[in-house]
């Protein structure tokens, strides 16, 4: 018995679904070809130049300002108790 998802042209990538239009890479990444991984060909997704900045990469000034805001909130909560 054939599953409808295993037949060619019946999966979510068919019929112009958003998955096919978006591509295989995450937001902020683009496909620049294929690479071998585990003996198979997979998309090679690399960060887009000037794309969305990673939330983990902050400049030191922004990181310090964020830490100070958190400290002020915590200190305010402690004063209320």
String of DSSP letters for the chain: ---TTTSTT-STTSTT-HHHHH-SSPTTEEEEEEEEETTEEEEEEEEPTT-PPPTT---HHHHHHHHHHHHHHHHHHHHH-
What is the reported pLDDT for 50?
73
What is the reported pLDDT for 66?
81
Rounded to two decimals, the pTM is 0.37
What is the reported pLDDT for 38?
94
Q: Is 11 left (phi over 0), alpha (psi -120 to 50) or beta?
A: beta
């Amino acid at each position: 018995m054939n599953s409808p998802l295993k037949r060619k042209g019946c999966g979510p990538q068919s019929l112009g679904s958003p998955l096919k239009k978006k591509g295989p890479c995450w937001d902020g990444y683009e496909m620049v070809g294929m690479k071998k991984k585990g003996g198979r060909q997979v998309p090679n997704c690399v960060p887009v130049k000037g794309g969305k900045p990673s939330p983990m990469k902050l400049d030191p000034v922004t990181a310090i300002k964020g830490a100070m805001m958190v400290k002020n909130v915590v200190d305010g909560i402690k004063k209320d108790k």
